[in-house]
Chain A
């Protein structure tokens, strides 16, 4: 893989823009809590936008350089304009549809809109964050010129991870204040997620340690397994098929086991997380009966009833409501764009596509997943699309987390 020069073009040290971006975002979020401090908020907003434009420009150059995809300036501008139009086209109707919440102040409605397009499932967010670390390492490795650069890169990534979770908590806190729901179980969810991530990292490190001590097929299998461990189940299935197609049985077996591990793990975590929703034993029931219910989770339907209800409702709406259908279709654009980019790269690279360089594969897979994540966030978190029905949802005895889950799950 050719070294990437884009970061060297900048006078700033690598990672500085990311660090600045997340610090600005956090500062902006903190100031948002104090609506009287308008002037510093404006300054933060301008700085944030400036920083964001620099980041986008740099990332685009980096993407081009890595994928050898040459876009001329007109195509680049068209791509950006299309993205801006798509986002504005999705945000606008969402905000307008929150007119049912007109009893809330304007900033409440804006925050509600923002939350609804930016609140992915926390498990999904966690998986994305796990992808970011190897991705950043893979992308920045050729650029590393000193240990300090590596420290900044990894430190920045961890900071992004932590701050993204903090930002999510802030958003949930704001949503809670807006809709007056009970305190969500977000902290429990984050703790469980971090525990799983930590376990995955420990297992991965342990297997890598084994690999250095010997080189037989078992450790190779373990290494293969460890490599695919941090990725989403969506990556496992295509990777499994590719391995089978290429006759790499070891890789196929490792991906299959990864897929099973993820499925069982997510099933268990989902059951654990929604235990209170699946079964609501009466208050008079003893602890023994509650334990029995927990035990039955393994054979329980995987979806809590409210989530299933939203799922079924979304299916009806997709068939009948032209607006929902059009928004859903537009939301697929990022994925289609990425797939198109993949086809172009493949045509340019020929049969050697993705085979010699793991970094390109990681980059493409992560990009595709991110595009899917973006599309699910934009397409399915639009609670403004609920129109008058939004009040039905808000008045129902359902945690907001389950509402978001139902909306997202439909697309998934």
Chain B
């Protein structure tokens, strides 16, 4: 099987802060890859480096065989991205926004219309298709961004906290879509705090802490690495690997 995403000793410094330190991963095509880590661990930085939004201090990000630094446009043509905060045009309607993104990716008008209608129906956004984006709720905006990320039929999908602010009904619909995409051979790299979703969806998981990769593999392999029991949850494994100590005592005024 071919490698969809590969990073070689990827490092990113912001001044004196080391956001990512010699991170090397490989993701096979068609895999659902989960990226876990506490707040500020470097998950978003990692996705930004892979999508060409940031330049690494050192190391090499490769997506679908293309070096992101050498061929950013080739990479951008083949990937979809959902950011942690939805990036939309407030004064366009969802239908217009999808049309706009479709044209940016060079799709024909008829194809854009057909795919837009399907995506709006899939994301339950048909009723809001002609409202302005600024009038949409956070969850709807998130779904619209996912629809825009899918309109050009990407080969690799980067999702940064895709389930934040999305209700259980829509969450289920999105999970089904993502599952179907991976079955069709699309590679998904998702960062999330929701460990249950990651455990259920992802075939492979990487855990990052303070910019260091502390574990990578299937849930079973991570359990082994954390020396955890077979019945331990991903949360237990995660807490062990990032060496997080549960806070004791709680709030002083509550005692």
Contact residues of A with B, CB < 8 Å? 100, 103, 177, 180-182, 277, 280, 305-306, 308-309, 312-313, 316-317, 320-321, 324, 386-399
Contact = CB atoms under 8 A, between A and B. Distances in A.
Question: Interface extent on B, as a size class?
Answer: 35 or more
Contacts of B100: 309, 312-313, 392
Given A306-B104, A320-B132, A397-B73, A103 B96 contact: no
Interface in B37-86: 48, 51-55, 68-74, 76-77, 81, 83, 85-86
A316 B92 contact: yes
B220 interface: no
B26 interface: no
Contacts of B55: 177, 180
30 contacts: A180-B52, A180-B55, A180-B68, A277-B106, A305-B103, A305-B106, A305-B107, A308-B103, A309-B99, A309-B100, A312-B99, A313-B96, A317-B89, A320-B132, A324-B91, A386-B89, A387-B90, A388-B88, A388-B90, A389-B87, A389-B88, A391-B83, A391-B87, A392-B104, A392-B148, A394-B53, A395-B53, A395-B81, A397-B106, A399-B73
Q: Which of B53, B73, B91 gathers the greatest number of chain A CB atoms within 10 Å?
A: B91
A398 B77 CA distance: 9
Contact of A181 (B72, B91, B107): B72
A396 B72 contact: no
B252 interface: no
B78 to A, nearest CB: 8
Contacts of B122: none
B71 A103 contact: no
B123 interface: no
Given A182-B71, A313-B96, 7 more contacts: A180-B54, A317-B92, A321-B90, A386-B89, A392-B101, A395-B52, A396-B101
Contacts of A390: 87
Interface of B: 14, 48, 51-55, 68-74, 76-77, 81, 83, 85-92, 96, 99-101, 103-107, 132, 148
Given A320-B132, A389-B88, A389-B89, A309 B73 contact: no
A386 B89 CA distance: 8
Closest 6 CB pairs of A and B: A309-B103, A397-B76, A396-B104, A391-B87, A397-B77, A320-B91
A313 B89 contact: yes
Contacts of A320: 91, 132
Nearest to A280: B106
A251 B71 CA distance: 51
Given A317-B91, A389-B87, A396 B53 contact: no
Contacts of B107: 305
Contacts of B73: 181-182, 397-399
A103 B14 contact: yes
A387 B89 CA distance: 8
Contact of A395 (B51, B85, B90, B91): B51
A396 B105 contact: yes
Nearest to B102: A309
Nearest to A391: B87
A388 B145 CA distance: 12
A392 B70 CA distance: 20
Contacts of B53: 103, 180, 391, 394-395
A270 to B, nearest CB: 17
B11 to A, nearest CB: 16
B76 A396 contact: yes
B57 to A, nearest CB: 13
A180 B103 contact: no
B82 to A, nearest CB: 11
Chain A CB within 10 Å, residue with most, of B14, B51, B68, B72: B72
Contacts of A317: 89, 91-92
A119 B77 CA distance: 25
Nearest to A406: B104
B76 A395 contact: yes
Residue from B83, B88, B103 having most chain A Cβ neighbours under 10 A: B103
A100 B101 CA distance: 19
B91 A180 contact: no
A394 B105 CA distance: 12
Nearest to B78: A397
Contact of A398 (B69, B96, B104, B132): B104
A221 B97 CA distance: 52
B81 to A, nearest CB: 6
A280 B86 CA distance: 30
A103 B54 contact: yes
Contacts of B81: 395
A256 B64 CA distance: 53
A392 B87 contact: yes
Contacts of B69: 180
A324 to B, nearest CB: 8
A388 B87 contact: yes
Nearest to B74: A397
Nearest to A101: B53
Contacts of A397: 73-74, 76-77, 104-106
Given A388-B88, A391-B87, A182 B103 contact: no
A313 B107 CA distance: 16
A146 to B, nearest CB: 53
Nearest to B73: A397
Contact of B72 (A182, A308, A312, A386): A182
B224 to A, nearest CB: 36
A87 to B, nearest CB: 25
A62 to B, nearest CB: 43
B106 A306 contact: yes
A103 B48 contact: yes
A58 to B, nearest CB: 43
